[in-house]
Amino acid sequence: MSKLHRPLGTLSDERDPVRLTPDSAGWDYSGLRVLSLAAGESRLVRTGEYEAFVLPLSGACTVRVDGQVFALAGRDSVFTRVTDFAYVPRDAEVELSTVAGIEVALPMARCTRRLEPRYGPAENVPVEVRGAGQATRQVTNFGVPGVWDHADKLNACELITPGGNWSSYPPHKHDEASECEVVNEEIYYFRVAGRDGVTPSREGFGLHRTYTADGELDEDVAVRDGDVFLIPRGYHGPCVAAPGYPMYYLNVLAGPADERSMAFCDDPAHGWVRETWNDQELDPRCPVTSHEGRVS
């Protein structure tokens, strides 16, 4: 069994579907929690040495931290809308409460600076259509440098890949400081829609590849709804959504650089593919969502 692929159920339980710290991942910075709260439930989360985003996956919640209150409208599913979110600092007590129930992700990064809590409106989140042809996908840049600069180490974004399409392609890496890349540990958290294209389901699946030039890592795995894959180093991509099953993933990145960056290098064997996109049409299924709801 792969040490990098963590299927649903191997990282926690139904109440906390994902509880991944840098220590349990075997690295230094990136982490992720996914919490499930029932209708009327409240949970207290102590951030400790981690900064985090509070990102609704399904449902709405109220966030109370440092005397501030943020009402997150959320969404029905990751395939229906771009959501609002909150940033919460290290060394904080964060109360999450919900009226109707929520599943919420907390992408995290170990950091040293303590910043103020802040609200991120959905209407301010840029949605990018990247690639072309069968490599067309949606990138939702809610927590990336240049868009969200209120973080010490934490970077995060969301992707939606229509069924049958490829994303995270060409394969790329960010495991050393060089002219084109910085060091980042990366988490992929997958959600896969069922037959209706909206409701997450374990029925569907996708494929993910991670490898190194020296062959020490060489993994091709099937991923299903709720799975996690860890990228400590090496080239990663593609992620392929099986026909009929749209794929979402949340990327969480953090590393030792003094300034946040998501810079990467393509695998030189496949980087040429980017040039072919100039002559291809975009898949009309993208963008899939906006802050107003489903687009296509």
What are the extents of the domains in the chain?
A: 5-276
- Mean pLDDT for all residues in the chain: 97
pTM above 0.85, yes or no: yes
Taking the C-alpha atoms of residue 231 and residue 4, their distance in angstroms, rounded to an integer, is 7
How high is the pLDDT of residue 2? 78
**Strand-pair category, 155-161 with 247-254:** antiparallel
**Residue 60: both structure tokens together:** 């709405």
Q: pLDDT digits over 198-229, tens only?
A: 999 999 999 999 999 999 999 999 999 999 99
Q: pLDDT digits over 38-60, tens only?
A: 999 999 999 999 999 999 999 99
In three-state form (DSSP H/G/I as H, E/B as E, the rest C), the secondary structure along the chain is CCCCEECCCCCCCCCCCEEECHHHHCCCCEEEEEEEECCCCEEEEECCCEEEEEEEEEEEEEEEECCEEEEEEEECCCCCCCCCEEEECCCCEEEEECCCCEEEEEEEEECCCCCCCEEECHHHCCEEEECCHHHCEEEEEEECCCCCCCCCCCEEEEEEECCCCEECCCCEECCCCCCCCCCCEEEEEEEEECCCCCCECCCCCEEEEEECCCCCCEEEEEECCCCEEEECCCEEEEEEECCCCCEEEEEEEECCCCCCCCCCEECCCCCCHHHHHHHCCCCCCCCCEECCEECC
CATH architecture observed for domain 5-276: Sandwich (2.60)
Beta bridge partners of 171: none
Question: Is residue 82 predicted with pLDDT exceeding 90?
Answer: yes
Whether residue 74 contacts residue 85, with contact meaning beta carbons closer than 8 Å, is answered with: no
How high is the pLDDT of residue 22? 97
Question: Is residue 14 predicted with pLDDT exceeding 80?
Answer: no
Closest CA to 229 of 1, 26, 2: 2
Q: How confident is the model at residue 1 (pLDDT cuts 50, 70, 90)?
A: low
Q: pLDDT digits over 105-144, tens only?
A: 999 999 999 999 999 999 999 999 999 999 999 999 999 9
Write the CA distances from 222 to 175, 180, 216, integer angstroms: 24, 30, 20
Q: pLDDT digits over 165-186, tens only?
A: 999 999 999 999 998 999 999 9
Degrees to nearest 5, angle at CA 167 with 111 and 137: 100
Q: What is the mean pLDDT of residues 54-69?
A: 98
Taking the C-alpha atoms of residue 203 and residue 173, their distance in angstroms, rounded to an integer, is 30
Percent of the chain topping pLDDT 70: 100
Whether residue 59 contacts residue 74, with contact meaning beta carbons closer than 8 Å, is answered with: yes
Whether residue 78 contacts residue 39, with contact meaning beta carbons closer than 8 Å, is answered with: no
Taken as a whole, the chain contains a residue count of: 296
Question: Is residue 11 predicted with pLDDT exceeding 90?
Answer: no
Percent of the chain topping pLDDT 90: 96
